[in-house]
Amino acid sequence: MRWIKISIFNFTLLALLGSILRYKIAFSLPFIDQKNLLHAHSHFAFAGWVSQILMCLLLYALSKDTIEWENKIKKFGKIFLLNLITAYGMLITFAYQGYAMYSIIFSTASILVSYWFAFSVYPLIKESNIHVITKKYFYAALLFNVISSLGPFSLAFMMVSHSVNQDYLLGAVFYYLHFQYNGWFLFVIFGTLNEQVAKQTENFEFKRNFNVLIVAAIMTLFLSLPWIDKQNMLGIVLFAIVIMQLMVFISFLRSTEEGSGPPLILNSKIKIPLKRIFTFAILIKGVLQILILVPSLDQYAFGLRPVIIAYLHLVLIGVVSFYIFHYLIREKILMMNKNLNKGLLIFLGGFILNEIVLVLQGLSWLNIVGLPLTNESLFLAALLMLSGLIVVTRSVLKNAAIESEKFREMPFIG
């Protein structure tokens, strides 16, 4: 439970950094370097929040109730600690100096820790008694996490060799983001979903759905590279792939309706299952990937910073983060209570406001709509998300007891 608590605290700290960034844009904070803090925010988001907790959840999905198995996973406490050190190292060094020697050292160390985790967890996946296709999802997640590191290494090489080309620079960034978001993050999520489906039914196209998502994860990289011409045969192939990917999303979501866990309760009549939030977000993601193939919308998506930020937050928060909370509650790793419910509702309100304002800001840049107080509204959204996560963190820290005996007894957690 300790590492779950630390991960959620890191998420709250991440929201604080986001609030500072939004405050500086809306008002004035001259002693903060916006660009450096933005780098710190993004690197800490990946290492300190998402990767840290996904590693916990992956091990949880593999765990067995045997002493021998517990002995095998004790070493992961060291991996989590080193990952945490590198995450905070990146947070401090990127905020202080931006891309420089110490920040590059910590970011490189973070990548090496991810290699260590992949190497260490691989044999456990092989030995576990989970569904054979679930194993493939987890193998793929680890592989995507490893190959995504080619992006940062390419960036470092370009900077050291003073051979920075704008297309290559953007390509390296988009490559890394793509295989993190659509590879490492999503394949851990769909691995856990696949395991849930496997426990409920055998009437499911396990292998076909996995194959579709693998092909989509690789091929949709071309959607992330705006300078590649998609108005040809490649565009037709991509269109077919993203349609099939969307159908797989729907197939999973329809097959995991049972066991969704307790919903968020707004009042006696309005209840919001966390699973529905994740469902809505991932379906929007699937539809947006189809719309990107429209030439005019392609330029809109990649040419406007607010739209890019809205999409990244849609996936990182709407898909990944809300699924994580859904999974933690469904598996009874966290107990739903009044404060946790309240905190998640406030966080959800801030997230929705953030997405709406970012999209409207993009439209205002195109002179389609007028939007006053945009930066102030985004700062308000950031404060709402921060406030919600503070309530969530307090609830998690206060309610140390958890219902899952399986999770409590795992040595790397305690």
Structure confidence by residue, pLDDT tens digits, 43-73: 999 999 999 999 999 999 987 655 567 777 7
Domain locations in the chain as residue ranges: 33-129
Q: Is the predicted pLDDT of residue 218 greater than 90, yes or no?
A: yes
The pLDDT confidence band at residue 271, using thresholds 50, 70 and 90, is confident
Confirm if 359 and 338 have CB atoms less than 8 A apart: no
pLDDT on residue 412: 41
Q: Specify the pTM.
A: 0.91
* Secondary structure class of 145 (helix, strand, coil): helix
- Interval 392-410 mean pLDDT: 63
Any long-range contacts for 128-132 (C-beta under 8 Å, 24+ apart)? 128/62, 128/64, 129/64, 130/61, 130/62, 130/195, 130/198, 131/194, 131/195, 131/198, 131/206
Q: Is 70 exposed, middle or buried (0-12, 13-18, 19+ CB in 10 A)?
A: middle
Structure confidence by residue, pLDDT tens digits, 171-214: 888 899 999 999 999 999 999 999 988 888 877 889 999 999 99
Residues 6+ apart with CB under 8 A from 240: none
Of 138-147, 212-221, 260-269, the range with the lowest mean pLDDT is 260-269
Maximum average pLDDT range among 7-16, 162-171, 256-265, 279-288: 7-16
Q: Is the predicted pLDDT of residue 145 greater than 70, yes or no?
A: yes
Q: Is the predicted pLDDT of residue 405 greater than 90, yes or no?
A: no
- Of 278, 264, 317, 297, whose CA–CA distance to 366 is shortest? 297
Q: Is the predicted pLDDT of residue 406 greater than 50, yes or no?
A: no
Confirm if 18 and 385 have CB atoms less than 8 A apart: yes
Of 97-101, 277-281, 291-295, 388-392, the range with the lowest mean pLDDT is 291-295
CB atoms within 10 A of CB 300: 17
Instruction: Give the torsion sign (CA, 9, 282, 295, 355).
Output: negative
pLDDT on residue 410: 44
| DSSP, res 185 | I
Q: Between these two residues, 292 and 132, which has the higher pLDDT value?
A: 132
| DSSP, res 334 | S
In degrees and rounded to multiples of 5, residue 371 shows phi and psi of -140, 100
Of 54-58, 250-254, 392-396, the range with the lowest mean pLDDT is 250-254
pLDDT on residue 408: 44
Question: Above pLDDT 90, what percent of the chain?
Answer: 52
Greatest pairwise CA separation for the chain in angstroms? 64
Confirm if 163 and 206 have CB atoms less than 8 A apart: no
- Interval 387-403 mean pLDDT: 81
Task: Go through the chain and tell me how many residues it has.
Answer: 414
In this structure, which amino acid lies at residue 149?
Answer: S
Alpha carbon 33 to chain centroid distance? 25
Partner residues linked to 85 by β-bridges: none
pLDDT on residue 400: 52
Q: Is the predicted pLDDT of residue 231 greater than 80, yes or no?
A: no
